[in-house]
Each structure stands twice: as C-alpha cells, then as structure tokens.
Structure 1
Amino acid sequence: ATSSGAYEKMLAELERQRTADRAATTTAADATSSGAGAGAAAGVTSMAVVEDEVPSMKEDGATESEQEEAPRPADLEELGHSTDPLAGVFLAGPDKTQEEPRAATALRLLILLHKRYSRPYNSVALTDPAVWINRRLTQKLEDQLRDPLAVVSRSLPVWCDVLLQQAHFLFPSWLRLRFVRLTGFGVSRAAHLLQSEYEHFPSRSTELARMLALLQRVRLRLPGSLAERVAPLLEDDSWTTSGGRSMPSIRIGALKHERCKVDRGRLLEEARRLFALHAARREVLEVSFQDEAGVGVGVTKEFYAEVAAALTRVDENQQCPIWMAPLDTSDGAEFIRPTEAHLGLFPVPLDPTKVPPALRNARAQRFRLLGRVLAKGFQDGHLVPLPLSLPFLSLAIFERPLELGDVELIHGSSLDLLRNIYRIHMHYLPLSTSRVDKEDSSPPTSPILEPLLPQDMDASTYLSYVDGDVDPVTNLAIEVPGGDQGLDLGRTGPFLAAVLRRWEACLEEPLECFRSGVADVLGSSWQRCLAALPVDELRRHMCGDTKDACAVDWSPDEVRRVVVPGFEYTAKSQQYMWLVEVLSGAPESPPAEAAVRSRLSAEERSQFLQFVTGCPVLPPGGLSHLSPKITVDRASRNSVGQLLLPTARTCTSCLRLPPYDSKSELLQKLLLAVENNSTFQLS
C-alpha cells in the first residue's frame, strides 16, 4: 500500500477535506453570527473562525456533567450512529461521484491487513508496530493537538476521532496516549497538561499568547465568575516584554488536590466509600493511611497497589466471588496469581437467577469499585497492578465478543479442559464440519499448542468423555447441535462458542456495573476516548508492565541510569556499586540462601519496587521508563553506632542505604527490609 502511494492519496483527501471545511465555515460565518459554532460542527480548528465564541470554560457552580461533557461535533454524532464510521471522513472526488475515494479504500485495506497480521503471538514478520506508523499523519495529528483552543474547546477535526478509533496503528503509542489525556479527561486537565508543556517548551508560548489574545477580546462575555478569575492573567503583561515573549506568571485552571485518610485494616470498604464520593469529582486524589506517617504521591501509589492486592485475596474471593480461581487452595496461597505469564484474571460467570440477592449486590458493588479504581488511577497517572487478562478488558471496555482462543489467556478453574478442546479444534480444524465465524479469517489470538491428553488416548476418545451440553465452568446447560451425543471433532468449535456466549450472558450485569464505574470517573464518552488505545496498550497504562519485566536481565548500565547516587554517595562508592550488582543481571531463584546469593529474584525485585516507589510493577516500557529515578542516599548510624535497616521515601523514590561492610550484608539487610515493611510506620 505504501509503494502504490495509498498513504499520499489518503493525505491528499484529508487536505481536500480541510480546505472544503474552511470554505464552508467561512461562508457560514458570513451568514450567521455564530461562526465558531459552525466551525466546531465542521471540525475546524482555526483560531480566526472561533473568535466570536466563548471557550468551553465553566464557572464554579456548574455541575460535573456541565463542566466536562462538552458537546461533540454534529458530524461526529452522525458518524457515531453510522454503520461505517469511515464513510464521512473522506470527501468525494472532484467529479462529485458517489464512488468511494481511493484513500478510503486503501485505509480499509490497511485495517484488514493490520487485523490479520498484528495479533499477539503471530509468527508472521509484520508484527513490528513501527511498520504501520505513518509519519505524515503523525505530524498532522501532533500539529492539531498543539492548538490549545482547538483542544480546550473540543473543536478537533472529525478525522482525529475516527482514524484513532478505526486505525490507531497509524500513530505511535505516545501520541495516542497524549490524545487520550487531552480529549478524555476533561477541559481542566487538558488545559493543565498544555500549560505544563509550554513551561517545558518555551517555543510554544506564542500559541498560548494567541489563546490569551482571544480571551482578551471576549472577556466581557465570559459567564459568571470566570471573567474575574482570568482578569489577573489578562492584565499581566510580563509575557509581552520588549525582549520577546516569555511565559505568563499566572496559570489558568490549576488542578486542585483532594486529600483523605483510609484505614488499612478495612481497605476495600474504605475504598468503596471513598470512590463513591470522589469518582465524579475532577480533583487529583491523594490518599494516606490512618496512624501512619507517610503522605504524598508515593503513599497514593501504595494505596492503589494495596487495593489491587485486596481485590485478589483468596479469602475475599471466597466471600464475594469475582475471579475465576483454581479450586485447589491447599497450597495456602494468599492471593490469586496467574501461574504463567500470558494468563490473566477473568470474572467468574455466575447464573444471575441462582445468585442470592445479597451476593448479587456485593458483586455489583465490587465490579463498580474495580471500574472506578482503574479509571481514577489512569486519570491521575497511577498504576493499579492487577494481572487482568486481555479478554476481560476487551469484553468489559470495548464490548468485543470473546473469541475461541481467549481460553488460552484466562487463568482459572476448569480452563484446562477448555484449552484442550480448543487445541484439538485448531489441530483438527480441516475435519470440522462448521466454523463459528466463517467470515472471520483472522488468526488465533494465542499460540496453537499440542493438547495435553492422557497417555494412549486419542482426541476422539478424549472428547467422548466430555458432556457436550453443559458448560464445565458454570455447570449450566448450553445449546450445541448434537451435544447430548457427546463431543466429536466436528462440534468442538460450536461447543466452545456456546460456552463463551454463556459466559457473556452471565457476566452482562457485572460488566455493566464495571462500565458504570469507569463512566463515573471519565464521563459518558469514555468509550470513544479509550478506543484510541489497543487493549494490550491500555492494560499496560492502567495496570503497568507485567511482573515478567522484573524477571528479565537488567543490564548494569540500565540500572545505573535509573538508580542514581544521592547524598554522600557517588558512582564510585562501594555500597552503591554493590547495590547495582544486586539489582542487575538475571534474577536468581528465591530458595537460595541470602549468604550465598548475589542478586535478587524476580519476586524480590517487585518487592523492592514496592518498597522504594510504592508500586510493585514497572511502567509501560520497563525499567528504563521508571520515573522519577531512584535516588540512593547514605543513612547514618543510630545513637549506639549500629547500622540500621534500609528505609525509603516513596514520595521521592529515595532509598536510604547504610554503609554496610560487605555485599552479602547489604543483600541480607535489604531483603529483610523489603519483605517485612508493610506500612509506613518505620519510613
């Protein structure tokens, strides 16, 4: 498609649309006095056509929905109800024929190719995300997002929404995330992010000056107290000095912070009450624990990590079942943890007609809390380290039906049987008499493995022992043609499809509560906003990188870039170099004694991150993207000259490391500290 010039044709169509939109908007502005309203409906971001419109800013007394839910452009609303969202993005050719523009056809082809060749675990070479990125479209979208008035007034062109929803792979991940943060978290957070960028990039101050000049012209028409609030900024002439434009000394719409305390002993109940009160508010949430000294960002990260851990406790899941979990609990595990890296948590489907009302209400509250926690953490930039499965997020957030291969990605009981049936189905697919979706030619979402059958038993015999009309997870009846006769190789696909449809029916109410929790925080248009992120990318931004990021080889240079010496330590200090050696390299197995070990295990690395930063997982991108960096300060001896255990300040990611005499002593004391410090009492 690139060699045939499809991208260039698509860009030419986009430029033609923009020119036509500007001409139509200019005509409408001459005929009416509401030029900006017409410009927003046409998706135009020019400053000139919106000078007669007041920016989308609300006074203090407005409700939450009035503050953050700006109207969508009229043509985007029409596209939202269209069966083909791409239909209205491209204009017809110069001859005004009804034939679809070639750029739209090329884009549809790219979407199909991406769906076919970019699935996880696919062995085809076209899996590098950089292959799909278009440089010119990326630059065009970046220029659109640099226009502060277009972003704050919600007047971005329609193609921004449609292309990011339908063909997000054309843009790099950092730009997709920036689009979500500028368009999905409300006007106040968008203005705050833009002004923060201007402070770091003074060259963009001219764009802010243009916005301020517009505010100066419409200040007398600003509603309520908004005129008084912006008056100090408009009267400040420090940014128009003779030596050139500098940054204004006053910011518009500084984000407010709301602080609260919770009881660690009643964490889930306290979290439920907290988010029930705070979910609809736009302030940044800061949490601390009662009777503990810690405050700040690090403690808030600890709060989200503790809530995530509480949601996966075995005893909590037994009282209020929300996750599929192995039936065997004889190992004494405290938390539900997937046994393999590619597995994740998935809600347990329960028949709503057989669930007691009290349990049904408890499950609804738990799923709504889960949605609020994930959305608020994503909005405030905190990770919620839950090992969620991709099928769960795809079904819950994007409402995409479950696929047969999803059984390979779910952790839980009775999944071994379904995995074997799926593997048999894929291995003997040519013998299958029917396929669930004959029109769907996409590859499987997981690798095709060999079925684990008993010794000296073939696939047909194995399937004959399976009850073909009962879901093995919920033990509910399912409708499969010929299911009462047992399974055979020709009915494995319909059987799996019937099981997954049964799950979706049982989870309809809990997932609706989950979506309501997300909507409580992000507003009613949250699905349109999050559609710009692929499901695996969204999971990394919400839950962090998987704990496998702690199981890879950390190079010494990478550790030195992230863990830096601080007070009374230098890069040549012996204790600092020992710490780098302990953290770098491939992780060791935990059973070894600390006296003979030289490095941390993967689980101990996660505990170290929890100890120093407040979060046990790494951000998207792994160790190199950890921010802020970990600073190592030298700790002093106590009053009797003894060396204490290492301590940490999670607010600044600071590790206070005493000057130990040997590497083995450092490792032993560090392990003792990270494994037994569950509160901020000794920080």
Structure 2
Amino acid sequence: MDCLLKKFIKNNLPHFCKFLFLLYQASVEPGEESPSTRVVGSDSCFSASPHSRDDSLKLAFYMDGQPLNQTLTLYQAFLQQKIASELETNSSANLWSQVYTITYKVATEPEDENREGSQDPLRPLLDKTEAHLLYTSYFRSMLESELVSDVDKSSPTYATLFLLKCLEGLNRCTFQLMSRARMHRFAKSLIHNLDDIKVIVLSVPQNEFVNSKLTEKLEQQMRDPLAVSTGGLPLWCNQLIDSCPFLFGFEARCKYFRLSAFGPQKALAQLQQHNNNNPGISRDRRPLAAGSSPRKKFLVSRDQILESAARMMDLYSNVRAPVEVEYSEEVGTGLGPTLEFYTLVSHEFQNSGLAMWRGEHFSCMAKEMQTQHSEVVSPLGLFPCPMPPPMLDASNGVKFCEIGKRFFLLGQIVAKALQDGRVLDLPFSKAFYKLILHQELNICDIPSFDPELGRTLLEFQALVNRKKIVLESGVIGASFDACFRDTKIEDLCLDFTLPGYPCYVLNANEDPKMVNMDNLEEYVTLVVDATVRSGICRQVEAFKSGFNQVFPIEHLKIFTEEELERLVCGERDFWSFNELFDHIKFDHGYTASSPPVINLLEIIQEFDYEKRRAFLQFVTGAPRLPPGGLASLNPKLTIVRKHCSASADVDLPSVMTCANYLKLPPYSTKEKMKEKLVYAITEGQGSFHLS
C-alpha cells in the first residue's frame, strides 16, 4: 500500500503542485502583486531561520570542515554531525569523552535569489473577483510559508510534505472556501435564493492525516532519558512537528508539548510514571527517577474565588511547581479540592455580571455595571464581548481596565491549569481558540459563535458582491434589485451601531446615518471588524499577556482548535458501559461481579449529561474527564464497599476525591442506590470534610 501511495504521489506530484499554485494565486487579493518568494516561518520554538532576524549572523562555525547548524545546541550539532559522518553511531560514553575542534570564520551574506519585477506566468489566467472571494488569510499564509526543514526544497520529500500540509490546511478551511464560492455564484446570478448560500461541510477527520510510524518513532525518541534530559531530540522531531504537526497523533503531541513547554524535569517525571505502569519495560531501559518539584500550598476562600485566584497567580504564575489548594475552615486538601477550585473559577468567569462575553448587554446610561450572578448561556461557546476602541469611545477606558484585568487573569489560569495538568470547565468557542492560536478571524467565522448575525452578514456581503458585478459588467440598462429577502435595505431601519450593542457606534466620527444599499458594504465591513477584530483585540491581547506569564503561548500552535479544547477542558464525551468495566478498579469488598457494582454501573450509564457531570465532580472534583477519558484518570476510579453501622439503606455514598475513591454502601435495591447517589451528588458538594 505504501509503495502504491508513493508511486501515485510521484506520478501526480506536478499536477498537485500546479493545482496548489493556482489556489495560492487565488488567495491573493485583487490588485495585490503576489510575492516572488515565500516567507520563512520563523516562529518555531526550536529552530528558526537565522536570516529571519533583523541582525544577520556575523560568524559561521565548522567542525571537521562541515558547517554547524546554529539553531541547535552544541550537543545536538555534535550528534547530528557524527551521525552524518559515520556509518555507526558512537556510544554515548565515547561521545562525551572525545574532544571536538570547532573553527569559525566571518559569515558571508547569502545571495538574494529574488528578482524585482518577476511576473507570475499564471496570473493572467485568474479571475480577480473569484480570487477575492476565495481569499482566506489562514490559507494564504500557509501557502506563503516554507517548511522548517533541512530537506532540500527540490526533493520529492519536501514537495510531498508541503503538499500534505496544504491538503490538511484545505481540509480545515473548507467551510470558508465553500461559503465564499457560494457567495460568488450568487453574485454571478448562478443561484438566486439567499438560502442556498448556506453550506454544510463534513471535513475529513483529522486522524486521517496521522502517520502511525512517525508517531511511534517520535514516542521512541521521547522515551530516551538522555535525549529528554539534555534537550537532544533529533532535529527532524523538532522540525517536522513544527511544520507538519498533523502527521503525529494527539497523545504524542501532548507529550512533546509538555517537554518543550515545561522542560525535561516534568517530562522525565511523566516518563518515569509511564514506565512504572508498564512492567514489560526492562529496568535497564528505565530512566533514573526525576526529582519532582515541591508542591505549593495555597489557602483560598469559597466566598472570594476570583480574588483568591488572582492572589494565587500573583504568587505562583512564574513558578513551575504545581499548586494545590485547600479551603479555609475545611479539612480537605490535595488533588480533589484543587480540581474543584479550578471548576469554581471557571464558573465565576462565566458570571454574566463580568461583561466579558457576548450576550451581556448593559445600558449606556448606567454609571456602574450591575452585578449579576447568573452564568452566560453559550450553546456555541464563549466569545469576547466587543468593546469600542478608545478612538471611538474615550469614555470606556475605565470600564476596559477592569475587563482587561479579568482577561489577563483568565489567561494566567488557563496556562497554569495546563502546566499543572488540571481540567477547566470553560466552554470557549471554536473562534476564541483560533484567536489563541494566532489565527485571524473573518466574516465566515462569525456563524460559529453567533449563527443569526453571521448568516445575515454573509447574505449582506453576497448582495454587495452581486451589485459590484452588475455595475462592472458594463451592460447598458443592467439593473440590480437591491432587496434583502423581499425587503429593501432602507426598510430594515438599520443604523451604524453594532447589532445587539446599541452603545457601540461604528462610525463615531461621522454624522449618524442609516444603512442603505450604497453604504451596505461599509456597514458589513465595520460590523465584522468590531465583532472579530478591533472590538475584541484588546481583550485577546490581555488574555495572551496573562498566559505568557506562565509559559509562552506559542507552544500551543501544534494543536488544532478542537484538540486545544480537549487539552484545556478534557473530554466532552463520557463513557460506554465496557469502558466503565475496563478502567474502574473494584476493591475492599467489591469485585466486578458484585451486585451493587453492577447496579452502580447501570445507574451512571443511565444518567443524562448533567447528572454525569455532577457524578464526576462529586468523585473527582472536576465535571469533565482529562484528555484520554477514563483511561487517563490518575489515580484510577476505585469503588470500595462502605461498612455501615446500621442499615446500609440509610447511609449515603462518600468519596475521597484526592484518590478518586467512591465508598458505596451495599444497598438492597437498585432504586434505593439511585436515590441515595443522586442525593449525594446533588447536595454533597461545596465543602471537603472527613467522611
């Protein structure tokens, strides 16, 4: 199969490359000259092009007459040089005992291969209007970039990797490309009903791009304690996962992320734990035990969750040691209370009175924001509430100061939760995750968090495009029906304020005016800008600044939006009946065949979504499972028999959340067990005491 695939790619590579080149040309906006060269992506955390910096290199270093790659550590450079020059790699002992001679000389500037005035031969073939409609910043930047790799750019390997990167990128922005294509067809009167602009896309599953052999090879490298402790992973690992992360499985990238973001100490500790859980690994292949960081204790108050979180971040945002929480006047401490603390903080950030998320509207005449205690309802996820830039509303500076602090704290909390391996209960929208990953949003992203506004803006834009084509056609007597669903634009009575936010004036420096067909394009542009750009950019920057206080946010770029949600919030799906049997431990009086155990598994399998969340929070402290589900829960969920002094039907279940330990009385019937369990998970939360 592999041979057939290689033969197919080799035979069709010129056609694929021509197709991708045409797509690249289509991604250039009308009137804009296409770049004559690609821009090297220089944001890699491991290897960046030295010539992408403002200050060019002054010296070049050599070993045995061969130039050293100055983006590597000395150890990596020596190891790479030895592997390239010898048939057999020396043992690690010989590697450290040898003496290496390094020479240097003044570096010469590379010749500029770009020529001004170069013309693209295929450019005259393009329809500029269609090029504009197919334009997406993400796809364009992908085509303009180069792979961070030492592979010769003229080799089939490089072309194949670049092709795969483009195809994966196409798969991720299929909705945007198809939406713009439908709008273009409407503009050319090929379709006439605005309802036909809507598209439903079923993308190729992301795991279809994963290469199992490369994933296993990366896993092997990360199991090498010497390579992990010295930062000496082979260069191909860093370059390939930076350029084409989709080739590796999610679990492997999670391990790589922890290694690159948090350093070798935590990675070695996780490696030690992995090997201890796999008795088949021989002792001589196990790494030396890594000293675990001392845990920090922090006392919080349930009545002041956000204030406690802010104080905790002031103390420990720059500390890599994990932080454990204990509550004032409660005896519980450790993993369970800590997970519950992050859950409570997550819910506090969803308080509608904080004015952080869309859907929270406040009167323009209110001098102070009213405090509300209800959570924001966000079926499609949380997205920042737009705020006018200072140039449009100089009076909102004081208000944004408080909101900016909240987003800064939110960034710190998310980063610290990732660093310590905690799960949050924050349902961010897909669009917000894209902003975290430094992706630009456009009109096609708005339906993902506000379907009604997004659909209306897309239809308005389709009308604008049709008007342009009619006017540019030059046909004498050509007319344009300026109606939106049988209603004239003027009759919609729209003014230049942001829909849903009457305080947000879109053109504050101009006289008030109503929207008509002549200024509809300006209105759409301003609404899109206020919704996904200028209206939220300060909030997003505050979030990133807080995040970077803990560790650089750049390390997240190897994940997709969906994967980042799993990393931050754990698994959305729960479990099947078989998974419960496979990943739950039964002890101290219970076995897998005990009648109370069978009843319990049937009961929690019958729970609806909210009751399953409540059960998880009751047992573990968090309402969602970590990435990987029940199999990744550490310690394992354990069910033990609770010995009762009187009748078992009177007692309630109790838990030890630090050990994921459920003490279950042997109830006489399934109905009685369900009654007591539901009561416990509903009423038995909010404090930690001895059980």
Compute the TM-score of the two structures, normalised by the length of structure 1.
0.69
The answer on whether the counterparts of 1:25 and 1:42 sit within 8 Å (CA) in structure 2 is: no
Equivalent-residue separation in structure 2 for 1:294 and 1:426 (angstroms): 57
Q: 1:392 aligns with which of 425, 432, 437?
A: 432
The answer to whether 1:407 aligns with 2:461 is no
The amino acid across from 1:287 in the alignment is V
Q: Matches of residues 152-191 of structure 1 in structure 2 within 5 Å? A: 152-191=229-268
The equivalent residue for 1:510 is: 539
The answer to whether 1:572 aligns with 2:572 is no
The equivalent residue for 2:149 is: 89
The equivalent residue for 2:322 is: 284
The amino acid across from 2:320 in the alignment is R
Equivalent-residue separation in structure 2 for 1:620 and 1:558 (angstroms): 15
Out of 105-114 and 471-480, give the one that drifted further: 471-480
The answer to whether 1:469 aligns with 2:476 is no
The answer to whether 1:680 aligns with 2:688 is yes
Q: Matches of residues 289-304 of structure 1 in structure 2 within 5 Å? A: 289-304=327-342
The answer on whether the counterparts of 2:424 and 2:568 sit within 8 Å (CA) in structure 1 is: yes
Q: 2:453 aligns with which of 401, 411, 418?
A: 418
Equivalent-residue separation in structure 1 for 2:75 and 2:222 (angstroms): 20
The equivalent residue for 1:115 is: 169
Q: Matches of residues 115-134 of structure 1 in structure 2 within 5 Å? A: 115-118=169-172, 127-134=204-211
Equivalent-residue separation in structure 2 for 1:661 and 1:360 (angstroms): 58
Equivalent-residue separation in structure 1 for 2:558 and 2:452 (angstroms): 35
The answer to whether 1:273 aligns with 2:314 is no
The amino acid across from 1:387 in the alignment is P
Q: Matches of residues 535-614 of structure 1 in structure 2 within 5 Å? A: 535-546=561-572, 549=573, 555-584=576-605, 599-614=606-621
Equivalent-residue separation in structure 2 for 1:491 and 1:49 (angstroms): 74
Q: CA deviation at 1:556?
A: 2.8
| 3-state SS in 2 of match to 1:545 | coil
The equivalent residue for 1:322 is: 356
Q: CA deviation at 1:300?
A: 1.2
The equivalent residue for 1:213 is: none
| 3-state SS in 2 of match to 1:531 | helix
Q: Matches of residues 422-437 of structure 1 in structure 2 within 5 Å? A: 422=457, 424=459, 431=466, 433=468
The amino acid across from 1:672 in the alignment is Y
Seen in structure 2, the aligned counterparts of structure 1 residues 390 and 88 have a Cα distance that, compared at 3 Å, is closer
| 3-state SS in 1 of match to 2:655 | strand
The answer on whether the counterparts of 1:36 and 1:52 sit within 8 Å (CA) in structure 2 is: no
**CA displacement, residues 182-210 of structure 1 (integer Å, 9 cap, x when unaligned):** 111123223323344454557877xxxxx
Identity, % of aligned positions: 27
Seen in structure 2, the aligned counterparts of structure 1 residues 159 and 84 have a Cα distance that, compared at 3 Å, is farther
The answer on whether the counterparts of 1:36 and 1:53 sit within 8 Å (CA) in structure 2 is: no
Seen in structure 2, the aligned counterparts of structure 1 residues 631 and 149 have a Cα distance that, compared at 3 Å, is closer
| 3-state SS in 1 of match to 2:333 | coil
The equivalent residue for 2:179 is: none
The answer on whether the counterparts of 2:649 and 2:667 sit within 8 Å (CA) in structure 1 is: no
The answer to whether 1:630 aligns with 2:604 is no
The answer on whether the counterparts of 2:489 and 2:515 sit within 8 Å (CA) in structure 1 is: no
The answer on whether the counterparts of 2:651 and 2:665 sit within 8 Å (CA) in structure 1 is: yes
Out of 472-481 and 656-665, give the one that drifted further: 472-481
- In structure 1, stretches of 5+ residues that fail to align are 10-23, 55-74, 76-80, 93-98, 206-238, 240-244, 435-455, 585-598
| 3-state SS in 1 of match to 2:326 | strand
Compute the TM-score of the two structures, normalised by the length of structure 2.
0.68
Equivalent-residue separation in structure 1 for 2:316 and 2:381 (angstroms): 29
Seen in structure 2, the aligned counterparts of structure 1 residues 293 and 158 have a Cα distance that, compared at 3 Å, is same
Say how many residue pairs are matched: 540
Q: Matches of residues 215-364 of structure 1 in structure 2 within 5 Å? A: 245=284, 251-314=289-352, 318=353, 320-325=354-359, 327=361, 334-338=374-378, 340=379, 343-353=380-390, 354=394, 356-364=396-404
The equivalent residue for 2:407 is: 367
Seen in structure 2, the aligned counterparts of structure 1 residues 682 and 424 have a Cα distance that, compared at 3 Å, is farther
Equivalent-residue separation in structure 1 for 2:594 and 2:490 (angstroms): 64
| 3-state SS in 2 of match to 1:150 | helix
Q: CA deviation at 1:648?
A: 1.1
The answer to whether 1:27 aligns with 2:64 is yes
The answer on whether the counterparts of 2:361 and 2:501 sit within 8 Å (CA) in structure 1 is: no
Equivalent-residue separation in structure 2 for 1:573 and 1:680 (angstroms): 29
Q: CA deviation at 1:618?
A: 2.5
Equivalent-residue separation in structure 2 for 1:557 and 1:38 (angstroms): 48
Give the superposed CA RMSD: 4.2
Q: CA deviation at 1:117?
A: 2.2
Seen in structure 2, the aligned counterparts of structure 1 residues 629 and 418 have a Cα distance that, compared at 3 Å, is same
The amino acid across from 2:679 in the alignment is L
Equivalent-residue separation in structure 2 for 1:159 and 1:31 (angstroms): 16
Q: CA deviation at 1:28?
A: 5.9
Equivalent-residue separation in structure 1 for 2:160 and 2:464 (angstroms): 32
Equivalent-residue separation in structure 2 for 1:31 and 1:134 (angstroms): 30
Seen in structure 2, the aligned counterparts of structure 1 residues 641 and 182 have a Cα distance that, compared at 3 Å, is closer
Q: Matches of residues 70-85 of structure 1 in structure 2 within 5 Å? A: none
| 3-state SS in 1 of match to 2:323 | strand
Q: Which of the two has greater strand per residue? A: 2
Q: CA deviation at 1:304?
A: 0.8
Q: CA deviation at 1:569?
A: 2.1
The equivalent residue for 2:186 is: none
Q: CA deviation at 1:280?
A: 0.4
**CA displacement, residues 640-667 of structure 1 (integer Å, 9 cap, x when unaligned):** 8872211111111111122222222221
The equivalent residue for 1:4 is: 8
The equivalent residue for 2:136 is: none
| 3-state SS in 2 of match to 1:655 | strand
The answer on whether the counterparts of 2:339 and 2:621 sit within 8 Å (CA) in structure 1 is: yes
Q: CA deviation at 1:4?
A: 2.7
The equivalent residue for 1:233 is: none
The amino acid across from 1:679 in the alignment is S
